[in-house]
């Protein structure tokens, strides 16, 4: 169980404190508090309906908050629209363009609306859209549309960009290509707030994450710290036809359990115990050529934290620690 979380960044690009939003009797956001460091890729994670999109739209000033404070690059989005407009970019979950508008036309239009801060041809070339310049939006594949939306979100050379479910509906190849683009955005000096419910995406891209569950932030920190805390043990698995040769392996410090089923041995242990376990096997003359170390994933930790059964009390403890 994590008892500490990374301190708030020294140079925050975004600070959200006590954010609340309700629709009628439904509390969608309840005392949401987090900050995003300058130059970070910060992931806002949660299941469908957790409040992710409401949170980022409220943070951008697209929805009115009921309570709390928001500082985006030092400005309040509810009152400082004009100051924020040239500093922030966004790709919203419901982003769409007219079916017949051509890629080049969209780039020229959005660049002009942003005051031609960036030459649209520079965006076209940077995001490899030249071969699509004369193609209509309606004829683009999912991956090509997301590449265009990302270019349009950066048309004002923003210091902070919000990307909401950018890879939703993309195939595996297009998703990985989009991940590369997001990393390129950060490399160019832009802070990224990434809204996603894909755990592999957050694990690959995000420096830190905030997990939204039932309208509250129940974890705030690095993905790997959450995995270590609640993701479960590491499994060292290998073929073995004689179970008795494992007698005593459970005495290795850090081993949780030793099982043997259908000629497969499974040693469950803490991550730090993997090397001692393998050393113990070697001392017994065991050198299986099918040995596999299976580590828990961020998805395992997310399900343990937000699932209906396991960790509701634990989630409350994390929330209290984060918000205190």
For the stretch 185-223, pLDDT in tens is 899 899 999 999 899 999 999 999 999 999 999 999 999
Residue 33 confidence (pLDDT) above 80 = yes
What is the set of domains in the chain, with CATH numbers? Answer: 12-87+158-229 (3.40.50.300), 233-294 (3.30.70.980)
**pLDDT score recorded for residue 9:** 66
pLDDT band for position 319 (50/70/90)? very low
Question: How confident is the model over 241-266, as pLDDT tens digits?
Answer: 877 788 899 999 999 999 998 889 99
pLDDT band at 123 (very low <50, low <70, confident <90, very high): confident
Q: Is the confidence at residue 93, as pLDDT, over 70?
A: no
- Partners of 191 in the β-ladder: 160
Res 269 pLDDT > 50: yes
The pLDDT-based confidence of 3 (bands split at 50, 70, 90) is very low
Average pLDDT, the chain: 87
Lowest mean pLDDT among 4-13, 143-152, 187-196, 210-219: 4-13
pLDDT digits (tens, 9 = 90+) for 36-73: 999 999 999 998 888 998 999 999 999 999 999 999 99
What is the bridge-based pairing of β-strands 264-269 and 255-261?
Answer: antiparallel
Give 52's contacts (C-beta < 8 A, 6+ positions apart). Answer: 44, 45, 46, 164, 195, 197, 212
Nearest to 155 by CA among 88, 94, 217: 88
CA–CA separation, 185 vs 180, rounded Å? 9
Look at 6 and 235; give whichever has higher pLDDT: 235
Per-residue pLDDT, averaged over 165-194, amounts to 88
Is pLDDT of 2 > 50?
no
């Amino acid at each position: 169980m994590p008892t500490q979380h990374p301190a708030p960044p020294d140079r925050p690009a975004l600070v959200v404190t006590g954010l609340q939003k309700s629709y009628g009797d439904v509390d969608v956001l309840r005392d949401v508090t987090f900050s995003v460091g300058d130059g970070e890729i910060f992931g806002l994670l949660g299941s469908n309906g957790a409040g992710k999109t409401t949170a980022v739209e409220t943070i951008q000033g697209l929805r009115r908050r009921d309570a709390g404070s928001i500082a985006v690059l030092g400005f309040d989005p509810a009152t400082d629209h004009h100051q924020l407009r040239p500093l922030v970019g966004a790709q919203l979950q419901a982003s769409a363009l007219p079916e017949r508008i051509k890629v080049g036309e969209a780039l020229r239009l959005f660049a002009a609306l942003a005051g031609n801060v960036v030459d649209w041809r520079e965006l076209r070339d940077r995001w490899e859209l030249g071969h699509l310049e004369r193609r209509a939006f309606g004829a683009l594949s999912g991956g090509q549309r997301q590449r265009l939306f990302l270019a349009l979100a950066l048309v004002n050379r923003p210091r902070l960009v919000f990307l909401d479910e950018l890879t939703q509906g993309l195939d595996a190849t297009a998703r990985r290509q989009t991940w590369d683009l997001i990393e390129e955005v950060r490399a160019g000096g832009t802070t990224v707030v990434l809204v996603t419910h894909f755990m592999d995406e957050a694990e690959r891209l995000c420096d830190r994450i905030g997990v939204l569950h039932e309208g509250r932030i129940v974890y705030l920190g690095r993905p790997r710290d959450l995995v270590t805390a609640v993701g479960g043990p590491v499994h060292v698995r290998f073929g073995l036809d004689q179970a008795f040769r494992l007698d005593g392996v459970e005495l290795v410090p850090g081993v949780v359990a030793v099982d043997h089923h259908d000629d497969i041995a499974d040693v469950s242990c803490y991550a730090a115990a993997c090397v001692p376990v393998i050393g113990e096997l070697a001392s017994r003359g065991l050198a299986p050529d099918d040995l596999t170390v299976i580590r828990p994933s961020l998805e395992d930790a997310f399900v343990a934290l937000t699932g209906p059964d396991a960790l509701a009390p634990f989630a409350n403890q994390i929330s209290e620690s984060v918000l205190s």
